[in-house]
Amino acid sequence: MRRLLVILLLACTISPVDAQKVRVDFDHACDFSRYQTYEWAPSPKVDFLNQLMQSRLIGFIEEVLAAKRLRRVETGGDLLVNFQMNVRQEKIYTTLTNGFGWDWGWGSEIATTTEQLITLGTLTVDVVDSHGSRLVFEGVSTAPISSKPLHNTKRLAKAVSEIFEKYPPR
């Protein structure tokens, strides 16, 4: 029984839910070398992020775009940058067995399934050509949301970094 409890605790602490998933998509026909400036598009109201987290997220995006040699302007930018954050709850089921059963149905094996409710946040960053009004780059990152702001700040920084890792596409 003690072994089962140790395995259960270990499974809860090393959960595959902690993995951050990032995907990007872009216009393959677009010449990204012609873009020099960007401006912020009017963002939709982001209810989940408070003002502190919104300003941190904007700072992370501006920092990575500056590293990509894009200059921010107030109006008339080559690109429009926008983000949105969606939040959903998801159930995760974990089944553990004691491993004492034998092949062909002989023996006794005990299995325990636990249900865990987690909150997942999906950050979407859109980069739009302001002259043609068409989406040229999009990054989406999904990760669990913590009750600790420091963890969420680190996850946002990592998400933005991974989204723009492949910008500009080659």
The predicted structure's pLDDT at residue 108: 60
Q: What is the pLDDT of residue 133?
A: 87
For residue range 112-145, list pLDDT tens digits in order.
Answer: 888 889 889 999 999 999 998 899 999 999 999 9
Q: What is the rounded end-to-end Cα distance, in angstroms, of the chain?
A: 55
CB 119 within 8 A of CB 79: no
Higher-scoring residue by pLDDT: 161, 19: 161
pLDDT of 107 strictly over 50? yes
Nearest Cα neighbor of 8 from 90, 98, 89, 92 is 98
47-88 tens-digit pLDDT: 777 889 989 999 999 999 999 999 999 999 999 999 999 989
Provide the residue ranges of all domains of the chain, joining segments of one domain with +: 20-96+116-166
Task: Please give the CATH architecture assigned to the domain spanning 20-96+116-166.
Answer: 2-Layer Sandwich (3.30)
- The arithmetic mean of pLDDT across residues 14-24, rounded, is 69
- What pLDDT is stored for residue 8 in this prediction? 45
What values do phi and psi take at 34, rounded to 5? -85, -5
Q: What percent of the chain has pLDDT over 90?
A: 52
